[in-house]
Structure 1
């Protein structure tokens, strides 16, 4: 069983996201360790990109701050190597196909695996183009994690059949960001996936409160939170580790109580 799958082995999973380098790589490193200690089951590390099409204004601004601060993919790989000496929490990269292409797909995937990453999420990679990365991910032992959105049933089924690690269920059409209400029938999406494959499903996009996290995790295998955490990083800057840790602990308790 891959480390990504293991994150769901103990029950419902809470999965936080941070943008690497916002406010600095040293703070990102401290955040990952603190979130793991607070009970996060799997952590998504965002590699900043100049045109993050799936992101709302909060994560877009974090990308801009990180890039302005001089973050590079190589510096992020170095941070992951340091993290692996401190924590064994499962970690996946969330970035854009262009970042992988410009680095060199094989070089990126090989280096990510050697540094200690467990998976890769590319939100702008259509299912039909997955073949460009999938064989390399399999070769180097990274789970290429698929996203399913509230689209046609047949498309969800096809994506589920080929999925690795877990299936990222997008709760809302549009970009990432905090939402007061999530109206998508997440349960129906999860059922479609499970009819095809025995694979964990986690829900992301729009979750910000413990009640929302618990509601989404009750219908799936876990909850993913990004914008609400990135907002705290923007608000507190270099002092964000304590408030983010407290927030993650509260979310973990809501999800693990199920």
Structure 2
């Protein structure tokens, strides 16, 4: 079976086209496991380059309220790690590069080496680990190297130069630059602030830097895509899936994905 390429290869291909890559976040298991897989395929059909598949966690302290609400609903439905691997398998078989975003406790509970082997077996690109700093990543780095998986650590506007160098050195694939869009009126200043952390992360040695900012429309995606290798969109996509009419929610999901895709096209040209 032909699997999707790693997300880093897809990001590079987007850059060659003059685009920023569009990375869409979805929580596995919301509204159900099958529905989350269907939603991932809708994103792929409407131009999203990479799926970031979030594994629901009981204490999602780094997620916003929309994603927290979806994660709680997924856990209440009994979503398990086997469901995560099933979803990755379905999406990579569909041809879409798929990363996993997970807090570290589920990986340790499953077993680090076992998790890496199981993720690689279903074609997963790698892990985004928001609460695992590179200083504590020795076991994961060994397992990810052994199974050719990407290691995506997070940088932030507050990260000093020595920390950015550490993040760049230990990441494999790309670096996730995390920030916040803030209120609408603060958009211009926040954009400049985030452009700075992208530039500093590159200066520290990162080959690819993708930005998660609370982007919710095509113009914001174009603004961030002008300087980032990838634009990560989460809450705005997840919100569409709260529609009680599932088909209507999927239509809204596809429409937003098309708008975001139009924003990143040509953004790096």
Q: Under a length normalisation based on structure 2, what TM-score does the superposition of the two structures give?
A: 0.88
Aligned to 2:237: 229
Structure 1 unmatched runs, 5+: none
Counterpart Cα distance in 1 of 2:112 and 2:121: 14
List structure 1 segments (4+ residues) > 4 angstroms apart after TM superposition.
Answer: none
- Render the CA deviation track for 1:65-93: whole Å, top value 9, x for unaligned: 001112111122123223333x1211100
Within a 5 Å distance, the mapping from 1:151-170 to structure 2 comes to: 151=158, 152-170=160-178
1:238 match: 246
Which residue does 2:11 correspond to in 1? 8
Structure 2 contact 103–131 (Cα < 8 Å) conserved: yes
Quick check: 1:55 aligned with 2:59?
no
State the shift of 1:41 in Å. Answer: 1.0
Relative to 1, partners in 2 of residues 1:138 and 1:236: Cα closer, same or farther, differing over 3 Å?
Answer: farther
Deviation of residue 138 (structure 1)? 0.9
Root mean square deviation, CA, Å = 1.7
CA distance in 2, matches of 1:70, 1:217: 37
- What's the counterpart of residue 39 of structure 2? 31
Deviation at 1:217, TM superposition (A): 1.1
1:46 and 2:58 are equivalent in the alignment? no
Q: Distance in 1 between matches of 2:138 and 2:245?
A: 39
> In structure 1, how many angstroms separate the alpha carbons of the residues matched to 2:111 and 2:122?
16
1:133-144 correspondence to structure 2 within 5 Å: 133-144=140-151
How far did 1:247 drift?
A: 0.5
Aligned-partner Cα distance in 1 for 2:65–2:196: 29
Tell me: CA distance 1:166–1:189, structure 2 relative to 1, closer, same or farther (3 Å): same
Task: Give the alignment's TM-score, normalised by structure 1.
Answer: 0.92
In structure 2, stretches of 5+ residues that fail to align are none
3-state SS in 1 of match to 2:214: coil
